[in-house]
Amino acid sequence: MSDDLFAAVVANTAVRGQTDDAAVVTVMLRVESALASAQERVGDLDADAAEAVRKACVAAADVDLAALARDTALGGNPVIPLVAEIRRLAGRHADAVHHGATSQDVIDTVLMIMSRESIGTIAGELDRAAASLDALVSDDRLVMGRTLMQHAVPLPLSTKIDGWRRGLADVARRLRAVASSLPVQLGGPVGDGSTLGEHPDDVRAALAETLGLADAPSWHTVRLPVADLASALATASGVVGKVALDVVLMAQAEVAEVREAAEGRGGSSSMPHKSNPIAAISARASARRAPHLAAHLFAQMEQEHERAAGAWHAEWSALVDLLRATGSACWWLAESLTSLEIDLDAVERNR
């Protein structure tokens, strides 16, 4: 089933391809494969077994997605049926698959990897948006300052736009800092590592290194990495929303200080004369999804004992949606700002 039509406005981002079913399966297999390698390195698996697991993970990439989704509903997460499939493919080395790990280890690690990669995309769009402002800020003329939506006193246009740019750069920095701190999750059934051989910390460190994640003790029900993502993503969307709103306000007919000049964009089904700043509008629409998705993730932090009965499951799609919403907000804003034309006569006239 696809949801591409509405996503074209509020999830218009390469993050979608980094977080859809195909990506989830690919990254789950990467984690299972890396786990075997880590265990081989530490001496918990012999070379044959580890190689068998890695090969089974490659073969499992052809897994029937529809069957996987159906079986996901039976056990409550997609790891259970995928591990069954890898085990089938691993033949006599079945026991080496997912060895000592639990479903949550895999899903949480997958979410961290997908988040790190998505943030790469998102921060890149923020860079593009910020860079596009360089040309605009060279001008030192004055623009009317507006407080409480009323005329106040003029300020340099460069100061106004520099405020936008600093905000965009700041949130890109925050996002990258969070991305680089995202930890692996590996603790076994109840998070204490007791099923992970004699050196569970070494296995975890090796897994983290292989996957390019930070190493950290099991955080299975203390959800700080998810909270950090929620925080940084909602903050980024907030800054994007501010800039997009300013663009929309300055594009009003009576103000007319800016317009989006993008070929083929911004038409109307009923009014052909209109030219809507559709990129800034879509950036706002996308950004507005973030606060409530973040609240949802914060609200799910109240997780029972060693694995939550619902709050954990409720995180998955919300985190994905938040990555996509923020990615979409940033892409649209970059589209808006790179196409922005400032009418300096209007700026002067309104002063």
Q: Which stretch of DSSP H or E encloses residue 340? A: strand 340-342
For a copy of itself, the binding residue among 61, 267, 341, 345 (CB under 8 A) is 267
CB of 164 within 8 A of CB of 172?
no
CB of 281 within 8 A of CB of 229?
no
Chain center to CA of 102: 24
Residues 245-264 touching a copy of itself, rule: CB under 8 A, are 245-246, 248-249, 251-255, 264
312: nearest Cα among 32, 68, 77: 77
**DSSP structure string for 8-74:** HHHS-STHHHHHSHHHHHHHHHHHHHHHHHHHHHHTSS-HHHHHHHHHHHHHGGG--HHHHHHHHHH
For a copy of itself, the binding residue among 56, 126, 136, 294 (CB under 8 A) is 294
Q: Rounded to the nearest whole angstrom, what is the least distance from the CB of residue 30 to a copy of itself in the complex?
A: 15
Return the sign of the alpha-carbon dihedral for residues 65, 71, 72, 77. negative
For a copy of itself, the binding residue among 317, 341, 344, 345 (CB under 8 A) is 317
Report if residue 334 touches a copy of itself, rule: CB under 8 A.
no
For a copy of itself, the binding residue among 286, 326, 336, 339 (CB under 8 A) is 286
Report if residue 2 touches a copy of itself, rule: CB under 8 A.
yes
Report if residue 83 touches a copy of itself, rule: CB under 8 A.
yes
Site track for a copy of itself across 62-81, x = CB under 8 A? ---xx-xxx-xxxxxxxxx-
Token look-up 């990495």 returns 225
Report if residue 197 touches a copy of itself, rule: CB under 8 A.
no
Q: Rounded to the nearest whole angstrom, what is the least distance from the CB of residue 283 to a copy of itself in the complex?
A: 8
Report if residue 189 touches a copy of itself, rule: CB under 8 A.
yes
Q: Please report, to the nearest 10 degrees, the dihedral formed by the alpha carbons of residues 242, 243, 247, 248 taken in order.
A: -30
Report if residue 43 touches a copy of itself, rule: CB under 8 A.
no
Q: Which stretch of DSSP H or E encloses residue 145? A: strand 142-147
Local structure of 42: helix, strand or coil: helix
Choose one: 39-47, 53-61, 130-138, 213-221; the region binding a copy of itself (CB under 8 A).
Answer: 213-221
Report if residue 222 touches a copy of itself, rule: CB under 8 A.
yes
Residues 107-126 touching a copy of itself, rule: CB under 8 A, are none
CB of 308 within 8 A of CB of 336?
no
Q: Rounded to the nearest whole angstrom, what is the least distance from the CB of residue 218 to a copy of itself in the complex?
A: 7
- Alpha carbons within 13 angstroms on the beta-carbon side of residue 223 total 30
Q: Rounded to the nearest whole angstrom, what is the least distance from the CB of residue 74 to a copy of itself in the complex?
A: 5
27: nearest Cα among 41, 17, 42, 12: 17
Choose one: 45-53, 124-132, 221-229, 336-344; the region binding a copy of itself (CB under 8 A).
Answer: 221-229
Chain center to CA of 194: 32
Choose one: 52-60, 125-133, 155-163, 202-210; the region binding a copy of itself (CB under 8 A).
Answer: 155-163
Instruction: Identify which of residues 39 and 102 has a Cβ nearer to a copy of itself in the complex.
Output: 102
**Alpha carbons 257 and 341: distance in angstroms, whole number:** 8
Residue 259: how many other CB atoms lie within 10 Å:
19
274 is written with which tokens?
Answer: 């209109």
Report if residue 198 touches a copy of itself, rule: CB under 8 A.
no
For a copy of itself, the binding residue among 183, 200, 241, 327 (CB under 8 A) is 241
Q: Rounded to the nearest whole angstrom, what is the least distance from the CB of residue 16 to a copy of itself in the complex?
A: 6
